[in-house]
Structure 1
Amino acid sequence: MSDAINTANAEISTARQSTNKHKDLNLDKPVLWLSGGFIALFVAIALFDDTLLAKIVDVGFNWSVMIFGPYWQVLLLLTFLISLALAAGRTGHVVLGGLNKPEMDGFRWLSIILCTLLAGGGVFWAAAEPIAHFVSSPPVFASTDDVKQIAINALSQSFMHWGFLAWAILGSLTSIVLMHLHYDKGLPLKPRTLLYPLLGERALHGITGTLIDTTSIIAVAAGTIGPIGFLGLQVSYALNALFGLPDSYATQLVIILLAIGMYTLSALSGVNRGIQFLSRCNIILAIGLMIYILIFGDTSFIINGYLQGVGSMLNNFFPMATYRGDEAWLSWWTVFFWGWFLGYGPMMAIFIARISRGRTIRQLVCAVSIIAPLITCFWFTVVGGSGLAFEISNPGSVSAAFEGFNLPASLLAITQQLPYPTVISILFLLLTAIFIITTGDSMTYTISVVISGNSEPSTAIRAFWGIMMGISALILISMGSGGITALQSFIVITAVPVSLILLPSLWNAPKLAIEMAKTQGF
């Protein structure tokens, strides 16, 4: 009899352990199965028939940019303008997050914000986009034979794509809504909460809330898998060019496995340890490289290019933001970037809400919508502006390397014209890797928060998502760059439903900000 009781107790204990493991992994959450299953299906189709996948994605991409492109341009513009109005008015004094004092100092806070969005784009696009617009002038600018003016126009267009509008959509109005509803009202820190003022309880429960969260996770996972894959492709190319190492899948495999290990461990350590540490290191390295290039590069061109480029962007701000004259060009540039950044919108807002408790609306908007964009534009001028200066003084020195839209080659063409080119090239590759690792760990953490509903999700769910995104990148690049390219185009498709999730924040953020201002006595 006692043996039977012991056996029964053992079975109960095993069942409880199994249940606890399921809870740790959140296997009972439909969002996990839908989002993870969709990504797995995408990768499976890519392996089974990449031509079919490319056709499906191309049709969806073309439809998305044609139908929703104008709406996205208006959405980003209004988000930026409304956020500025809230920061400038009495609502700017409102303290968010239910704390009187910020949880972290300003440098660490801004470092994390900067590193999370810029990712690898902050290095390779900074080198490549200005030269791309220099070689082929953006249609919004009148044609001219003045080479320096062409360079300024190229910088201005790059600033538009990586400046005020791109940053504002990632965490200005949406972060205000989430911080109030989560910290003051006790609603979950999930994308579904953004639609609570519009849909009420329907947004929080049942299929509606599940679909909102699932769509947001798929979009940000796709947006993170792409840069992870490109990290392997780009660093492998650079190592081959610098040291003759084979530009092969084996090299890419090692690079991505190292990245997976680093960003997963960082995500496991949480916001206050690994993510903060990596962000701080990245910003310090970026500042060091900027100072070096300012000293040994064309300092005068960089300073003048930044001032004139920002001035030209502000002067042409509304024409560039609302330009619709060449839809083919827009789908390759502006609308593509807007779709990419929109995909990050809800999850970045959650991440910023998580790290911004105790900040005022004015501090939040100034950091996200003004300071971060201006720093980004200066970084683009230091890297891409140096490339333009080299190109003007020695035609073909950068544009020839960039031919065929070769992003890593354009970066190397710039670094190879600086003193100690090999050392500087290695440091830029390290910077790129840490940028992408920082994005990987922050998005791994944020996805885990959304699925678990806990601000400190279990290590199991963090490790699962970190490894899953990395493995997906490895599978896609095993097919060549076409797999990652299809994923990049797919990001724009996911921006369609995500942009609808972000829309109500245009009126909900001002409404909630005014309510908070009255409550706090402003």
Structure 2
Amino acid sequence: MNMKHSKIDWPVMFISGGLLTAFVIASVINAEAVGSFVDWSFTFATTYFGAFWQVLMLATFLIAIAIAFSRFGKIRLGAMDKPEFTTFKWISIIMCTLLAGGGVFWAAAEPMYHFLETPPMYEAEPGTAGAVIPAMAQSFLDWGFLAWAILGTLAAIILMHAHYDKGMPLKPRTLLYPVFGSKVIHKSTVGTLADSFSIIAVAAGTIGPIGFLGLQAAYGFEAVFGLPNTFITQVLIVFGLVSVAAISAVTGVHRGIQFLSRWNVILTMFLVGAVLILGPGGFIIDTFVGTTGVYVRDFFELSLYRQDPAWLSFWTLFFWGWFIGYAPMMAVFISRISRGRTIRELVTAVAIIAPIVTNFWFSVVGGSGIFYELQQAGAVSGALDEGGMPAAMIAIVQQMPYGTILAVLFLIVTVIFVATTSDSMSYSISMAVTGGTTPSAGLRVFWAVLMGAVASVLLYLGEGSIDALQSFIVFTAVPVSLLLLPTLWSAPKTVRRMYREQFDAQNRS
């Protein structure tokens, strides 16, 4: 079977695209009813699946690490002897694809929220120096090792073996192949639902950041250049973003996606250096090192904390539901860009390097915000309360020398981060709909434009509609988490089979 140019799976296309369209239409007709349904579904998901998600996330990380640093770690994935991308380009694509999914917005806001209201597992007085480490430790947990491990370790290993070695389609349903066999691949209701819910979850998780980008960039342009922060401005920003994402998706992973990712990482590294020099560099380094120690020390306690369910649902389970919803499609994308990598390289990059870089990014952005808030109460929290997340990052960089220039550069980085996520997920959704590694350009553009159009409609309805979609992804994570559950035992079985196949073949030769 030629998996590069497989046909469109129309049932999956209609279900995923239809339900997204239905969400928008329902929001236009009765936004209040949609909001009530989202609130109910969010509460249902976090109440009945929260503990399961915490165990699933922790188990995925521990099993992935155990496999990577055992003898199975040297297994090479993707039926290719050498990687397609250099290590820097490869990690850049991985980082940009997810970090824009919320990191650029939450990096400024989440540490500040936890600083002003200390997480319940710590007893530090809010708004004081003693609250700094607890605030950052909670942010590290939400965006750290477990969050990244679920996105592209066990699931990616299974998909790469099934697709490149066994000829199975590069779709989320293929994760069930070790359980149900080939019957789940062709004309399977379970397979169709697995693909559809995975696409809906990742589309919802990508539309949210696109909408937030419209809000943040419009706020930034008003703060820096005096341009009016109106719906028209927000939609023009979204249109520009979608245009960049569509062009990047059409040119593919070897050109547009890797080009944007590589240069955005370079620009981000420049900004990090600028903030360390112009901003509170010593405070940032001390906070990162100190918080890393506390995060590692309290790792299991934080990961399995259950004593305040309401708070937990609002923070950790919200983010982890988001990551679980993203996981199958991220695994599809990582499978596409990781050919020729060993299991040890894959797990190290995704579950160790990426979260450490993410946590350092949170220390740079969020740590700076906390520093300035300690110097003058309200310096950042005032803007956060009045303007929400879009205002937080601008308020932080404007405390520094050359604040206007830094604000513009941060806006550019944010736009490219979200564009990279949009083009990567448009590409991944197209792969999931067709099962091949090179879906048609028209299909990639369709999904990029659809996500931009949905974001524009939700912006028109108000920021609350975007928040509702963000919360809805937590509900979609319920079926997706059941899809991921078998990877806990099918991944170890798969690597044992791959080990025999690869090294027995070497011994015979």
TM-score between both structures, scaled by the size of structure 2: 0.96
Residue 431 (1) aligns with residue 439 (2): no
* C-alpha distance after superposition, 1:231-251 (max 9, x if no partner): 111111121222221111100
Q: Which residue of 2 aligns with 1:399?
A: 381
CA contact (8 A) 1:26 1:461 kept: no
Which of 360, 383, 387 pairs up with 2:342? 360
Letter in 1 for 2:78: G
Query: Are 2:6 and 2:435, in contact at CA under 8 Å, matched by a contact in 1?
Result: no
**1:403, CA displacement in angstroms?**
1.9
> 1:405: Cα distance to partner?
7.5
CA distance in 1, matches of 2:220, 2:431: 35
Is 1:108 the counterpart of 2:89? The answer is: yes
Distance 2:325 2:9 in 1: 26
Question: 2:109 and 2:99 mapped to 1: Cα distance?
Answer: 14
- Which of 377, 397, 408 is equivalent to 2:359? 377
C-alpha distance 120-83 of structure 1, shift in aligned 2 (>3 A) = closer
Question: Does the CA contact (< 8 Å) of 1:25 and 1:461 recur in 2?
Answer: no
Which residue matches 2:271? 289
Whether contact under 8 Å (1:120, 1:231) holds in the other structure is no
Asked whether 1:175 is paired with 2:153, we answer: no
Q: Is the 8 A contact 1:26 1:32 kept in 2?
A: no
* Residue matched to 2:61: 80
Q: CA deviation at 1:209?
A: 1.3
Match of 1:266 in 2: 248
RMSD: 1.5
Between the aligned partners of 1:215 and 1:145, the Cα distance in structure 2 is: 40
User: Shift of residue 148 of structure 1?
Assistant: 2.6
Letter in 2 for 1:353: S
1:61: how far off?
0.8
The answer to whether structure 1 residue 447 and structure 2 residue 404 are counterparts is no
Give the alignment partner of residue 126 of structure 1, picking from 98, 107, 111. 107
SS of aligned partner of 2:257: helix
Q: CA deviation at 1:120?
A: 5.3
1:260–1:466 CA contact under 8 A, matched in 2: yes
Work out which of the residue numbers 462, 467, 472 in structure 1 matches 2:444. 462
Question: 1: CA distance between counterparts of 2:127 and 2:223?
Answer: 34
Residue in structure 1 matching 2:331, options 330, 346, 349: 349
Match of 1:340 among 305, 322, 325: 322
* Aligned 8 A contact 1:167 1:373 in 2: yes
Q: Distance in 1 between matches of 2:102 and 2:387?
A: 14
Aligned match of 1:184? 165
- Provide Cα deviations, 1:374-407, integer angstroms capped at 9, x if missing partner: 0111111111111111111222211222226711
Shift of 1:124: 1.9
- 1:350 & 1:400 partners in 2: Cα distance? 41
Question: Are the equivalent residues in 2 in contact too, given 1:27–1:33 (CA < 8 A)?
Answer: no
Q: Which residue of structure 2 lines up, in the alignment, with residue 213 of structure 1? A: 195
Cα displacement string for residues 50-83 of structure 1 (whole angstroms, at most 9, x for unaligned residues): 1111111111111111000110011000000110
Does 1:157 find its partner at 2:138? yes
TM-superposed deviation, 1:146: 9.3
Aligned pairs for 1:220-235 (under 5 A) are: 220-235=202-217
What is the CA distance between 1:521 and its match in structure 2?
2.5
The AA in structure 2 aligned to 1:118 is L
Structure 1 alignment gaps of length 5 or more: 1-23
* 8 Å contact kept, 2:6–2:436: no
Go from structure 1 to structure 2 and tell me whether the alpha carbon gap of 1:405 and 1:240 turns closer, same or farther (over 3 Å shift): closer
Instruction: Choose from 110, 116, 130 the match for 1:135.
Output: 116
Does 1:31 pair with 2:12?
A: yes
Map of 2:40 onto structure 1? 59
Moved more, 90-99 or 385-394: 385-394
Identity %: 53
- Conserved? CA contact 1:347–1:443, under 8 Å: yes
Q: Which runs of 5+ in 2 are unaligned?
A: 505-509
* Selected match of 2:128 from 123, 147, 153: 147
Q: Give the Cα separation in 1 of the matches to 2:199 and 2:8.
A: 16
Asked whether the 8 Å contact 2:422–2:448 carries over to 1, the reply is yes
Q: Distance in 2 between matches of 1:146 and 1:326?
A: 21
What SS does structure 2 have at the residue aligned with 1:520? helix
Residue aligning to 1:89: 70
Residue 204 of structure 1 aligns with an amino acid whose one-letter code is I
Decide which structure has the larger Cα Rg and report it: 1
Amino acid at match of 2:199: I
Deviations 1:93-145 (A, max 9, x none): 11111111111100000000000001152222111111111000001112348
Give the 3 Å change call, closer, same or farther, for CA 432–145 of structure 1 in structure 2: closer
Deviates more, 1:242-251 or 1:361-370: 242-251
- 1:222 and 1:86 map into 2 onto residues whose CA distance is 32
Paired residue type of 2:317: V
State whether residues 127 and 374 of structure 2, in contact with CA within 8 Å, keep that contact through their aligned partners in structure 1. Answer: no
Q: Is the Cα–Cα contact under 8 Å of residues 120 and 432 in structure 1 kept in the other structure?
A: no
> Do the aligned residues in 2 keep the contact of 1:259 with 1:433 (CA within 8 Å)?
yes
Q: Would the aligned equivalents of 2:202 and 2:325 in 1 still touch at CA under 8 Å?
A: yes
Q: Which amino acid aligns with 1:341?
A: F
Distance 1:244 1:26, change over 3 A: farther
Name the SS for the 2:430 alignment partner.
helix
Kept in 1: contact 2:9–2:434 (CA 8 A) = no
Distance between the aligned counterparts of 2:69 and 2:442, measured in 1? 43
Cα offset, 1:25, TM superposition: 12
Mapped to 1, the partners of 2:31 and 2:126 lie a distance apart of 44
Residue 347 and residue 120 in structure 1: after superposition, are their counterparts in 2 closer, same or farther (change >3 A)? closer
Structure 2: distance between partners of 1:25 and 1:355? 19
Letter in 1 for 2:455: A
Choose 60-69 or 203-212, whichever is displaced more. Answer: 203-212
Residue 457 (structure 2) pairs with residue 475 (structure 1) = yes
In 1, the alpha carbon distance for the partners of 2:9 and 2:125 equals 61
SS class of match (1:345): helix
* Aligned equivalent of 1:19: none
Q: Which residue of 2 aligns with 1:44?
A: 25
Corresponding residue for 1:18? none
Matched with 2:507 is none
Aligned-residue offset at 1:486: 1.0
Number of equivalenced pairs? 499
Q: For residue 205 of structure 2, what is the amino acid of its counterpart?
A: G
- C-alpha deviation, 1:150, in angstroms: 1.0
**TM-score, with length taken from structure 1:** 0.93
SS in 1 for 2:227: coil
- Find the aligned partners of 1:441 and 1:325 in 2 and give their Cα distance: 39
Deviations 1:168-190, CA, capped at 9 Å, x for gaps: 00000100111111111111110
| 3-state SS of 1:447 partner | helix
Q: Provide the rounded CA distance (Å) in 2 between the counterparts of 1:406 and 1:126.
A: 13
Amino acid paired to 1:98 = A
Structure-2 change in CA distance of 1:146 and 1:445 (3 Å) = closer
Task: Return 340-349 or 112-121, whichever deviates more.
Answer: 112-121
8 Å contact kept, 2:118–2:135: yes
